Amino acid sequence: MATFWRPGMMPIQLLLTIGVTFLIFVIGHTFIKKTFGRGLPMLAQGALTWLAAFTIFKFVISPPIPSSLLYIYMGLITLVIGLFISANEVSWTESKKPIVDTLIGATPLHRGVRAVAFIALPLGFGWGTYTSIAPPKNFPEPPELRTVHPAPPQAIKVQDKQFTLQTSKNPFRVDVKGEYLDVGKEKEFFASNPFDPNAEGYVKYVKEGGEVFFRNCHFCHGDNLDGRGMFAFAFRPIPANLADPGTIAQLQETFVFWRISKGGMNAPREINPWDSAMPPWEEHLKIDDIWKVALFEYWHTEFFPRTWD
C-alpha cells in the first residue's frame, strides 16, 4: 500500500480515495438503515461528506495541495452539498429544521446548544484569526545581515543584450585612438576637462554621462555624488554615497553597470532586509547612457574602477 500511495500519482490516488470513501459511506449508511429503521438525516450526510472531503484534501493527498486550492475545492464542495440538500422541498425542510430549532431555541436542549454555539463560535473565530496573524513566539531577528555589495551574477541581460561581467568593458572608457584606458592611465583620465567644447573620446562621454546624472540621479545621490540629494533622506537605506571609498571605488565598472541597470528592485535577495529605492535604470535609460553615467561617476569622484585581478 505504502509504495502505491506515493507522491506523483495524484489523479489515480484521488479517484481511488474518493471511490473507497464513497464505498464506506454506502455500506455504513445501509447498515444504519437496516439497524435503526431509518437513514441518517440529510444534514448529517452533508456534514459527513464535507468532513470526509476536507480530510482527504488536507491529510491524505500527497504531495499536499496549496491552501488556496484547498479553499477553492472546499468552497465548491460546500456549494454542491448545499445544492444537494436543498434540491427538493422534503429534504430542504428536513435539513433546515435542526438549524431553525437551534436558532429559535425550540427545546431546552436546543437552547443549550445555542448558548454554547454563540459563545464558542466567536471565541473560535477570534482564536483562529489571532493565531493566523500573530508573530510566532520568540520572534527571531532576520537572520541575514545586509550585504551592501552582493555577489554579481556571471552574466546579465540588459535590454535583451547579454553581458558577461568578467569580460565586459565600458565601451566609452577609450581614448581618442579608441584604446581602452586601463590601470596606469588614471592621470590622463582625471586630467581631462569635459567643459572643453572640443572634447573628444572619453572626455566627451564623461560630459554626456554627467548630463544623464544630473537629469536622473542627483535627486538621490546628490550634486557631489555624496548620497545627500534632496530626496535622499526619504529613503532607507539612503542612496549610496558614491564619493565614499566604500562604494564604487571598491567595485569593478561592470559591477556598477549591473547595479545601475537592475536597481534595488532586481538586486539579489541578500541586499534585503531593507529594499533599496534605487530604480532599475535599464527600464529608463539606453545601455550607452548607463555606461556613460558610470564613467562620469568615476571621473567625478576621482576613483578608478577596480580590476578583476
Q: Report if residue 281 touches ligand HEC, rule: CB under 6 A.
A: yes
Closer to ligand HEC by Cβ: residue 50 or 219 = 219
Nearer to ligand HEC, 73 or 231 (CB): 231
Identified binder of ligand HEC from the candidate list 85, 181, 217, 243, rule CB under 6 A: 217
206 binds ligand HEC per the rule CB under 6 A = no
- 98 vs 237, beta carbon nearer ligand HEC: 237
Q: Which is nearer to ligand HEC, 188 or 283 (CB)?
A: 283
Asked if 219 interacts with ligand HEC (CB under 6 A), we say yes
Coil, strand, or helix at residue 287? helix
Of 13, 192, 252, 276, the one binding ligand HEC by CB under 6 A? 276
Is 81 a binding residue for ligand HEC by CB under 6 A? The answer is no
Q: Using the rule CB under 6 A, give the single segment among 28-36, 175-183, 200-208, 278-286 that binds ligand HEC.
A: 278-286
From 15-23, 59-67, 161-169, 274-282, span contacting ligand HEC (CB under 6 A): 274-282
150 interacts with ligand HEC by CB under 6 A: no
Q: Which residues bind ligand HEC (CB under 6 A)?
A: 148-149, 216-217, 219-221, 235, 237, 239-240, 247-248, 256, 259-260, 264, 276-279, 281, 293
